[in-house]
Structure 1
């Protein structure tokens, strides 16, 4: 009897082992925290990455994943496939297949429904009384104000300036043409910035040209050690306006004379850094954390220098600003990763924290992420708001000098707030879709930048990249809509508010 019982136990154990093995075979393979966090973006990345110029980027991502799993060799080493899964075109061989069309079925369906509500809701919204501006709150009179003060007067809880601003064009014209009366270096910051006072006593923050437009981010440079580009500041202002945000301070390009505009008017501290280069050009380097030395000097060519002139925001005694740590801030470290890069549920934690748990703030952060992604700007560690408007106000879009550095690379992690939260404003989505189906963003930005004194501000490859990134953003939204039960779970209809 005991022998029979033992045989029965052994047989039962064998059956359980066989069943367990079968169940394990049906379970999905576990992924590392990094892979789980980026899974939605990676899936869209593969769908979107049909163009030849992005195959190398995707291949590098895939090769990195294989390295993490301990696999050796690349797809290109194991056959005629290029990195990213594209067939290599040998000399004399067949042409590569054309890029697959972008499918945005869920986005189109929502916007078709949205159009029925949009026009009447927008008309009703326009009849509402606009919120009080900064000038109204301060009790200013609009008469006898300078262009800069007119710009400040119009600042509201919704934007830095209204859609049809009269002050901004006048301010831009003055910054581009009025004589310079004084110049000093701005304290703080990692790279050189100048404060220039114009003849009418208005001030502008100036970033001088360091490198030609053809020079992009160096391959071995981290995002936090990249050079700042003056033309990126100019392009960012125009892009922000085309997106309908109007949260970036007005910026214009201008040519400066190294001798009469800078050397003759510089204060003593800045003047000590001027020198004559071996090429007999006048140069200076100022004092800052990065690239302020003789080897990274700013020189005239031969005596002229480009610069971006950004309008100053109101002084703190008029309108105090609050600085906030960006919830999707990068680690700014060579080896460490930020929490949001490792935690797939990070957005749920953010949504429980004030001021992201209510109101417009989280949607503003997602707008900012889309704005940064279109420009390729990874350098976003803090943001600011005006204290007088409380928490229910826009984020000020500041400091875009490290944008437009990699025309052939789309850094999808910049969109982490979008693909981790799966939230977006209806107005932002509609604007992006109009760029997709109608006149392209590249064409609109090219036309807008053509009016700047330093045109062409951007090279064509950076303009082309904008259209590609618009489509990739829309694909993420499309997948969010497909994976959620209702569009309302993803899209906040701000037009009906």
Structure 2
């Protein structure tokens, strides 16, 4: 190749390279706004994916209130040790050069005093005073109906059982329950058997004085939340949720939950030494040299879901047994707002806004106290986040005026950053609440002690305190406010507020 041709090729190559450099420089200047440049086709693909994978809201109350907590729930599940900031807390921003910026304080809004609801409560109290003077509420106990009196050598178990009344399991000033719980937390265990039925392991504990309690063992730490992809009917049961439910039920003035206390047991001395038969065969030593067992049940009773000590100490909840069904038979009722327990199918109340009108026509909800009791149960479940309320029980000898028992709360307190508003369906579909229940909610909302503070104080006496992870206590105040908002909406659209807030002498 001649020298002249070589020079021409070199010049042309240089011009091409110069053109490329100039083009890249221009594009760099056009996209120099401190953000990485993304090609147009990439933006189109991202927008398509985002549009088709994003969850949409249907505009319902449940969707609107749950949407605000969805981002917080996702963040919390990714990092349970660092929960998202709540309303009024500091928010963290991300700078262009320095990464995380200093916290920016946001103004806190004072809590709504709900003066309108307080006025209605006071009105109900004023109107009911005269009626209360003329009518004395009859609240018999099991001992009175059975014609049994306490013997001089009666145990605490006898005192508790015979003192159960139509309205409550124990009186507000009765010291028996606290004394019995202290005894259960320390009394020697003489015999254990596995409880039949149910989806998860439970043990029936017999004590040296002949009393019995139901033992639910600890499965995972307090901070463990319900997994995102777990249905309410497949979630693990939490022993600490049972303990917290008893305290919350008592604080709200219901006193319909079975007394429960926490206790640390030695698996070697108090369980393995007393186990027999098939239960004994399930004990083993784990690779980490911890003593474990799994029992036999419908779900989660295998080596992969074993319950292990550390190395042989195990925490659990002890629920005091109610009187035997031979002496005090109970009736099981299907909860009218029961969920479908199906992966795809919904219950009727989830698709019918007028479902409460149907319930009001059916016995025993067409008269008496039972419908108001369902409202109380709904309030309790919503505060705990318990979606697993499928049945409830009443004592037969009290008839249809018997207060329902609040049992089985192991699936509560699983999602501290998510408020499942659908649990309140009985309240916002029927627009009904008991006067005494609303008064308790208002008292814990306006002070002097918030619900979270009172709950923390009540739980502090339990042997396994701290019973709840702190975000669960914070959620109580948030959910209480949601309940009051729902009741306010019902009062505003009602012709007479006394049709919403009812005093039925209970």
**Cα pair 1:40 1:419 within 8 Å, conserved:** no
Q: Deviations over 1:341-386 (max 9, x none)?
A: 0011100000010100111001101100100000000001000001
**Cα pair 1:183 1:195 within 8 Å, conserved:** yes
1:140 corresponds to: 148
Q: What TM-score do the two structures reach when normalised by structure 2? A: 0.80
CA distance in 2, matches of 1:114, 1:310: 36
Question: Which range moves more in the overlay, 132-141 or 360-369?
Answer: 132-141
1:151 corresponds to: 160
Aligned pair partner of 1:171 in 164, 169, 180: 180
**Secondary structure at the residue paired with 2:340?**
coil
Q: Deviations over 1:133-189 (max 9, x none)?
A: 101111112122221111110111111111111321221122111100001100000
Evaluate the alpha carbon distance shift between residue 441 and residue 122 of structure 1 in structure 2; reply closer, same or farther with a 3 A threshold.
farther
CA distance in 2, matches of 1:392, 1:301: 47
1:164-313 equivalence runs, <5 A = 164-313=173-322
CA distance in 2, matches of 1:427, 1:121: 17
User: Root-mean-square deviation (CA), in Å?
Assistant: 2.6
1:312-327 equivalence runs, <5 A = 312-327=321-336
- The structure with the larger Rg is 2
Aligned pair partner of 2:139 in 131, 136, 147: 131
**Secondary structure at the residue paired with 1:200?**
coil
CA distance in 2, matches of 1:278, 1:58: 34
1:400 corresponds to: 409
**Cα pair 2:124 2:498 within 8 Å, conserved:** no
1:363-442 equivalence runs, <5 A = 363-438=372-447, 439-442=449-452
**Secondary structure at the residue paired with 2:233?**
helix
**Secondary structure at the residue paired with 1:494?**
coil
**Secondary structure at the residue paired with 2:440?**
helix
CA distance in 1, matches of 2:74, 2:353: 23
CA distance in 1, matches of 2:190, 2:283: 19
1:460 equivalenced with 2:470 (yes/no): yes
CA distance in 1, matches of 2:346, 2:395: 30
Deviation for aligned residue 1:113: 3.0
Evaluate the alpha carbon distance shift between residue 59 and residue 321 of structure 1 in structure 2; reply closer, same or farther with a 3 A threshold.
same
1:484-495 equivalence runs, <5 A = 484-495=494-505
Structure 2's unaligned 5+ residue stretches are 1-55, 76-90, 96-100
**Secondary structure at the residue paired with 2:394?**
strand
Q: What TM-score do the two structures reach when normalised by structure 1? A: 0.81
CA distance in 2, matches of 1:357, 1:479: 24
Deviation for aligned residue 1:117: 5.2
**Secondary structure at the residue paired with 1:197?**
strand
